[in-house]
Structure 1
Amino acid sequence: MSCTSPVTDPEITHPILLPCLEIADVARRSTQIIMTDKVTGQKHYTAPIRHLLSALNELRRRDRETFRFLKDTKGEVEQEKIAVDRQSLSLQNLYYEQGYLKGEIKNCCEFPSIYTCIPLIPEEEYLISHPQDCELSPHQLMISRLNHEISERERLDKHRKELAQKRASLIQENKQRKEELERLDKQLQAFIESAGPIEKVFEKY
């Protein structure tokens, strides 16, 4: 790179730093002019010195701005880091909840449901009496069979209650007849006992 080439750095691309390179290049060129004039004995370096001082002042101002920018950026980065950490923690919690829910779903799928203990009529027999359910999915078919079992049990329970009511009525009727027969038996026994003297009178003849 020649001494008159502008100052460049491929690693510096931020907009706030690029003007600093240009100002530094002005300061470098002004310094070169001043040094050249001193070597050659010329005394026309007042303007270059003024440019150099102006460039240095501008660099100091830019340095303060850059420092404030870096400080603010560092604060923003810290805030973003906190937000990312919070999001990472939330994501980990979601993964934990997902794993927990998957485990619960697996346990529910493997848990022996009460319907497996209910003695249902065989599926083939059920489909013979309910051919409209042949196209149902296994889940819907099981629900239909359970509903059928409920209705059948309700019907049988109603019939059982009716029979129990008839039985209670017959027991009550038999009890009343038994009491009536016992009463008639007592009356008959009393009649026989009261007819004893009359029988003795007839025996004399």
Structure 2
Amino acid sequence: MTAEDSITDPLLLSVLQAAAEARNQSLAILALINDHHASPSPEPPTDNTLQHISKQQKLLHTHLVRLRGLNRQATLAVRTTKQATAEARHEIDTLHLELQNLYYEQRHLRGEIAACESYSHPHEQISLIDVEDFLTLHPEFRSASEHDVTVARIRDEHAQRVALEEQRLALVRRKEALVKETAGKKEELARLDGEMEKWVHGQEAVRKLLEAGEKKSREATASTE
């Protein structure tokens, strides 16, 4: 298979045909000249011979003019084709880049979806009231969706925890008040213990003083006797 067999464009085929015709015409003129010089006794060409050669040259010129025109058209067509090819390649490159971006975005979204599907929501770690127990306490949610029931259970748990927190704070405040009251009573007891100890010490001193007076009295009585 030759290069000419792989060409299918009509314009290029016409260029090849014109080139072949110009080549054949050139070969024909060269053959006339060679035949004239190859004769044993070449004579000056006659008028008929000169006219024939001139006619062949004009025909060659016609083929060359046609070949130049077709070649110019083919060159312009090649430039146009190159421009169209470049534009098409640019468009393909742009589409390929957009496709790559879509592929990366798709992969990113799939990763996000997988992360969401495997995400452990905090409410799953909360000890919520059993569904049936909740529906027994709140029958108005029996016709609700699973999502609405879950939200209601979370809100119910929140309300209960808020109430328990209020109770805890109330107990903490009561405990603090009792601790303060106990501390006050301890201080009062300590003060009373101090006063009692002073009173006891005072009584001991009085007793000793009385005992000393009685002793002196006995001694005085004994000396008078």
On whether the aligned pair clears a TM of 0.5, the verdict is: yes
Q: Deviations over 1:130-188 (max 9, x none)?
A: 33333332233222322322232222112211210110111011110111011112112
Shift of 1:72: 1.9
Q: Which runs of 5+ in 1 are unaligned?
A: 1-10, 25-45
Cα distance between partner residues in 2 of 1:167 and 1:146: 31
For residues 84-103 of structure 1, the aligned pairs below 5 Å read 84-103=92-111
Cα distance between partner residues in 2 of 1:116 and 1:135: 22
Q: Deviations over 1:30-80 (max 9, x none)?
A: xxxxxxxxxxxxxxxx9xx99x94x97467435413421221222221221
Q: Secondary structure at the match of 1:88?
A: helix
Select the structure with the greater relative contact order (CA < 8 A; seq sep ≥ 6): 2
2:139 aligned with 1:131? yes
TM-score (norm 1): 0.63
| Higher Cα radius of gyration | 2
The residue aligned with 1:174 is 182
**CA RMSD across the alignment:** 3.3
Q: Secondary structure at the match of 1:194?
A: helix
Shift of 1:129: 2.6
Aligned letter for 1:90? E
2:81 aligned with 1:76? no
In structure 2, do the counterparts of structure 1 residues 138 and 56 end up closer, same or farther at CA, with 3 Å as the change threshold?
Answer: farther
Q: Deviations over 1:65-113 (max 9, x none)?
A: 3421221222221221132123123213312321332133123212332
Number of matched residues? 162
Aligned letter for 2:193? D
Aligned letter for 2:81? T
Aligned letter for 2:168? R
- How much identity, in percent, do the aligned residues show? 30
TM-score (norm 2): 0.58
Q: Which runs of 5+ in 2 are unaligned?
A: 1-7, 19-54, 215-225
In structure 2, do the counterparts of structure 1 residues 194 and 62 end up closer, same or farther at CA, with 3 Å as the change threshold?
Answer: same
Shift of 1:12: 6.9
